[in-house]
Amino acid sequence: PPSLGLLTINAMVAARDLIVPVQCEYYALEGLGQLLGNAERVRKSLNQELRIAGILLTMYDGRTNLSPEVAEDVRRHFGEVVYDTVIPRSVRLSEAPSFGQPAVTLDPASRGARSYLALAEEIAAHEEPAADPGEQARAQPPDATTLPPQASAASGAASPGPGGRGYGVVTSLPAGIDKAWPPLEPWTGSS
């Protein structure tokens, strides 16, 4: 979420790379400075491996004077760290969450979906190869034959929730959950 609270700090502690989305509006530039300051504090004290993978310009509207100006300011100040791909302001991107789908499955031909696919290609093209073979194996997605049954069932299309509002994919209960009842007491691990 667009905040600098505990959830964002925890995500930075757990992450290796940070992609920073920046709306093409001036108030977003103020938030960017605060976010980068927090990221630097986290890097110094809690996660020395954290790095800025890139800055992503979002909600770009070429019909206005503001969006190109903000994009130019960000590119001038941050240079090579800014991704070439720019995500446009798009109604289909805004509608996708209400259908419980990512934009690339809701309307793959939309400008927004094509932009996110272009971003994925740009990130993949700049991704550094993993140094050790174990890291490469972990980076490889498992093929469909190795997925547990509940995971392969959950990989189907998302269905919208009540009133067309999407809540994501509803998955089946994990195997063995019925044997784990009553739940363990969280502090001692006993029933």
Q: Which H, E and C letters describe 134-170, residue by residue?
A: HHHHHHCCCCHHHCCHHHHHHCCCCCECHHHCECCCC
Q: Mind listing the pLDDT tens digit of every residue in the chain (191 residues)?
A: 567 788 889 999 999 999 999 999 988 888 888 889 889 999 999 999 999 999 999 999 999 999 999 999 999 999 999 999 999 999 989 999 899 999 999 999 999 999 999 999 999 998 766 555 555 555 555 444 443 443 334 444 444 444 444 444 444 555 654 555 455 554 444 55
Alpha helices in 16-56 (DSSP H): 26-45
pLDDT at 163: 44
pLDDT at 185: 52
Question: CA 115 to CA 88: how far, in whole Å?
Answer: 8
Question: CA 66 to CA 70: how far, in whole Å?
Answer: 6
Question: Terminus-to-terminus CA distance in the chain, angstroms?
Answer: 36
Question: CA 55 to CA 57: how far, in whole Å?
Answer: 7
pLDDT at 29: 84
Is residue 172 within 8 Å of residue 150, measured between CB atoms?
yes
Per-residue burial over 164-189, b if 16 or more Cβ lie within 10 Å, else e, is eebeeeeeeeeeeeeeeeeeeeeeee
Tokens standing for 19?
């992609």
Question: CA 126 to CA 17: how far, in whole Å?
Answer: 13
pLDDT at 117: 95
Is residue 185 within 8 Å of residue 191, measured between CB atoms?
yes
Q: Running DSSP on this structure, what letter comes out for residue 35?
A: H
